[in-house]
Chains A and B, each alone.
Chain A
Amino acid sequence: MPKHLIIGNGIAGVSAAEAIRALDPEGGITFIAREELLPYSRPMISNVLAGSADFSQLPIRGPDFYQDLGAEVVTGQEAVTLDLEDRTVTTSSGAQKDFDTLLIASGADPRKLKAKGAGAKGVFYLRSADDVRGILRALPGTTHALVLGGGLVGFKAAYGLLSRGVPVTMLIASGYPLSLQVDAEAGAMIQAELVKHGLSVEVGVEVTALETDTAGRVSRAQLSDGGALDCQLVVVGKGVWPSLGFIDPDQITVDAGVLVDDHMMTSRQGVYAAGDVAEHFDLARGTRWVNAIWPVAVEMGRIAGMNMAGRKVAYRGGLSRNVIRIFDLDVLTAGLVNPPEGEGYQVMARRNERLGIYRKLVFKDDHLMGATLVGQVEQGGVLMNAVSGRMPISGDKERLLEPGFNYAYLQPETAQAA
């Protein structure tokens, strides 16, 4: 009876365990979980911050998840060392767990703020349910909050704080908001929407030092342009980095993330990786990539689990994608958004002021490589699947920009003639 050990109880680990159980009713499954909570929806913590969801809504499975699955769990512990000869994992409490197959699904950690005073009270990240609890506790007495970083997490933090009635200033080091996700035009639309609701945005500015009051709580931020801002709360959204400190790179091949093959197996037989910690392949970029997003973690987890249970199933690769709703603005992106110049990409964009929508599509030859939709995002999945499925787009590509675009537009001509 094989023993499956899973480091992490996030969505990759949970999806893997469920895939294992579907194929292997007998095998042992053990989770090593850093947080005490039941598996929960990490992307939803920003909804809790905004007040549109409650902590009780976070768990993604029922209270008897582990029992129903016939799995064991050790909570509040991290993997510290892997012994691949003895096939054991040592946890932070010193306990040893042995395995036949191992899944590394340890996720990713937020990048730390490097400024002086970054450890002050009132400085938060937005990564776990506990982070949100901390931010909510710090709200009373906060008259002005600072959000560092103009990425998705920064935006969700700013949106959440504004929804709670806290004035927010967002500092963005790069040229415009969401510069990794959208192009400049969509970035400007998003910024305008947030500014309309009371957000101040400063571009090209970073925090150099944080000052504290007598209680050790942040009170003022020194900025790289020589200015300063009063603030009682700072949320850092500088991206995430794969959580792989416990992995010896001499034993398991590591790049930005843990390198995996199409079966989610690492360079070591029987050791798999999935989710935010794993580096596989990006379908639009055509290169190895860490796609640290929820839907890719689900896909990778399922593939890893099936392979761990002995069914050889291959993953074709992931695709960057994201969707956010900011006040009355919906933004959906998939695949390649800002293609490199001079590599044969064809970009088409159309803005409809009356309908308040903007669409940008990136093509290479007959294939759609990426899409940005602002407003009317319902058909985003159709475009996303055209990208990931490498569906050839014949005929007039411009028609994909039409407001009436729907699934029928992608049907081959023969189906219409029949």
Chain B
Amino acid sequence: MKSVIVHPERCVGCMQCMPACATAHSEAKDMFLATLEDPRPRPRVHVGAGPAGEGFPNRCRHCDPAPCALACLPGAILRDTETDTVLIDPDLCINCASCAMACPFGVIRYHDDRTAPPGKVVAVKCDNCLERLGQGLIPACVEACQSGALTYEESDQALKRQTDQVAASTVAAAGAARPAAPGFELMMAVKRATKETNRTRA
């Protein structure tokens, strides 16, 4: 299953994911019309600034088991196993902030929302853009991200790519540290030429 993967080292802090997210969760699905809506759509992804001012796109990890769901007093937070998404039921939420105390990443906010009963403040967080996925779109934050800090892919593939990168950097570093023996390059060039000649002859 594909999921949104965060690469904080690539985040330039442009915050484009935030309005994209708010728009995706608006009635109008248009950034300019969304600003006129009441309640005003708000983002579920939060670009925080680190201590040195570096960007950090903070987003719900949809943990399993989810600490917010375990802490929820009215049992309003549940996992949708089909999409592997942790969802908050705005009708059941009582805005007690128990999930704020549980979330290790601090990604839950409390405000009114078009999915909640009018005037009711509820806990709001990332829903993996299930509405967009149903329309064949990718999550809005990923679509908006131009720096590659947010990607939408199979997590094992992303992991493998990271592993390969680490492995490659190790090999490259090793090569730089220990130059090949004199004549090695010439020998390899001869070998490659011989092989190529043999291949074209056959």
- Please name all residues of chain A whose beta carbon is closer than 8 Å to the beta carbon of B126 when the two chains form the complex: none
Cβ of B199 to closest chain A Cβ, rounded Å:
41
Q: Is the CB of A407 within 8 A of B75?
A: no
Q: Is the CB of B101 within 8 A of A299?
A: no
Find the residue from B56, B97, B104, B106 having the highest chain A CB count within 10 A.
B106
Chain B 22-53 per-residue mask, 1 if CB under 8 angstroms from chain A, else 0: 00000000000000000000000010111110
Q: Is B71 interfacial (CB 8 A cutoff)?
A: yes
CB-based nearest B residue for A417 = B9
Q: Is A192 interfacial (CB 8 A cutoff)?
A: no
- Please name all residues of chain B whose beta carbon is closer than 8 Å to the beta carbon of A295 when the two chains form the complex: 70-71, 98, 101-102
Q: Is A278 interfacial (CB 8 A cutoff)?
A: no
Known interface pairs A47-B94, A294-B73; A378-B50 also in contact (CB < 8 Å): no
- Please name all residues of chain B whose beta carbon is closer than 8 Å to the beta carbon of A404 when the two chains form the complex: 48-49
Q: Is the CB of B108 within 8 A of A44?
A: no
Q: Is B150 interfacial (CB 8 A cutoff)?
A: no
CB-based nearest A residue for B70 = A298
Q: Is the CB of A41 within 8 A of B95?
A: no
- Please name all residues of chain A whose beta carbon is closer than 8 Å to the beta carbon of B9 when the two chains form the complex: 415-416, 418
Chain A 33-54 per-residue mask, 1 if CB under 8 angstroms from chain B, else 0: 0000000010110010000110
Q: Is A127 interfacial (CB 8 A cutoff)?
A: no
Q: Is A334 interfacial (CB 8 A cutoff)?
A: yes
Cβ of A387 to closest chain B Cβ, rounded Å:
11
Find the residue from A57, A378, A396 having the highest chain B CB count within 10 A.
A378
CB-based nearest A residue for B103 = A381
Chain B 83-108 per-residue mask, 1 if CB under 8 angstroms from chain A, else 0: 00000000010111111111111111
CB-based nearest B residue for A416 = B54
CB-based nearest B residue for A61 = B75
Known interface pairs A404-B49, A406-B56, A408-B48; A294-B74 also in contact (CB < 8 Å): no
Q: Is the CB of B74 within 8 A of A411?
A: no
Known interface pairs A399-B51, A406-B56, A408-B50; A380-B101 also in contact (CB < 8 Å): yes
Q: Is the CB of B106 within 8 A of A379?
A: yes
- Please name all residues of chain B whose beta carbon is closer than 8 Å to the beta carbon of A57 when the two chains form the complex: 74, 92, 94
Q: Is the CB of B96 within 8 A of A47?
A: yes
Q: Is the CB of A378 within 8 A of B108?
A: yes
- Please name all residues of chain A whose beta carbon is closer than 8 Å to the beta carbon of B54 when the two chains form the complex: 408, 416
Q: Is A115 interfacial (CB 8 A cutoff)?
A: no
Contact among A294, A302, A379 with B71 in the assembled complex (CB-CB below 8 Å)? A294
Q: What's the Cα separation between A385 and B96 when bound, in Å?
A: 19
Q: Is the CB of B73 within 8 A of A381?
A: no
Q: How large is the interface on B (under 10, 10 to 19, 20 to 34, 35 or more residues)?
A: 35 or more
- Please name all residues of chain A whose beta carbon is closer than 8 Å to the beta carbon of B97 when the two chains form the complex: 323, 325, 330, 332, 377, 380
Q: What's the Cα separation between A277 and B121 when bound, in Å?
A: 34
Q: Is the CB of B102 within 8 A of A381?
A: yes
Find the residue from A302, A321, A382, A396 having the highest chain B CB count within 10 A.
A382
CB-based nearest B residue for A298 = B70
Q: Is A60 interfacial (CB 8 A cutoff)?
A: yes
Cβ of B117 to closest chain A Cβ, rounded Å:
12
Q: In the complex, which residues 51-106 of chain A have their Cβ closer than 8 Å to any Cβ of chain B?
A: 52-53, 57, 60-61
Known interface pairs A382-B104, A396-B51, A404-B49; A60-B74 also in contact (CB < 8 Å): yes
Q: Is the CB of B58 within 8 A of A323?
A: no
Q: Is the CB of A407 within 8 A of B52?
A: no
Cβ of B104 to closest chain A Cβ, rounded Å:
4
Cβ of A207 to closest chain B Cβ, rounded Å:
30
- Please name all residues of chain A whose beta carbon is closer than 8 Å to the beta carbon of B92 when the two chains form the complex: 57
Q: What's the Cα separation between A346 and B102 when bound, in Å?
A: 24
Cβ of A375 to closest chain B Cβ, rounded Å:
12
Q: Is the CB of B58 within 8 A of A407?
A: yes
Cβ of B173 to closest chain A Cβ, rounded Å:
14
Q: Is B8 interfacial (CB 8 A cutoff)?
A: yes
Q: In the complex, which residues 98-128 of chain A have their Cβ closer than 8 Å to any Cβ of chain B?
A: none
Q: Is the CB of A41 within 8 A of B74?
A: yes
Q: What's the Cα separation between A332 and B99 when bound, in Å?
A: 11
- Please name all residues of chain A whose beta carbon is closer than 8 Å to the beta carbon of B101 when the two chains form the complex: 295, 321-323, 332, 334, 377, 380-381, 384
Q: Is B67 interfacial (CB 8 A cutoff)?
A: yes
CB-based nearest A residue for B7 = A418
- Please name all residues of chain A whose beta carbon is closer than 8 Å to the beta carbon of B95 when the two chains form the complex: 325
Q: Is A327 interfacial (CB 8 A cutoff)?
A: no
Q: What's the Cα separation between A385 and B97 when bound, in Å?
A: 15
Known interface pairs A404-B49, A406-B106, A409-B51; A44-B100 also in contact (CB < 8 Å): no
- Please name all residues of chain B whose beta carbon is closer than 8 Å to the beta carbon of A396 when the two chains form the complex: 51
Q: What's the Cα separation between A406 and B13 when bound, in Å?
A: 14
- Pairs across A and B, CB under 8 Å, 9 listed: A294-B71, A302-B65, A323-B98, A381-B101, A406-B56, A408-B54, A409-B50, A416-B9, A416-B52
Per CB-CB distance, the 4 closest pairs between chain A and chain B, nearest first, are A406-B48, A408-B56, A408-B50, A381-B103
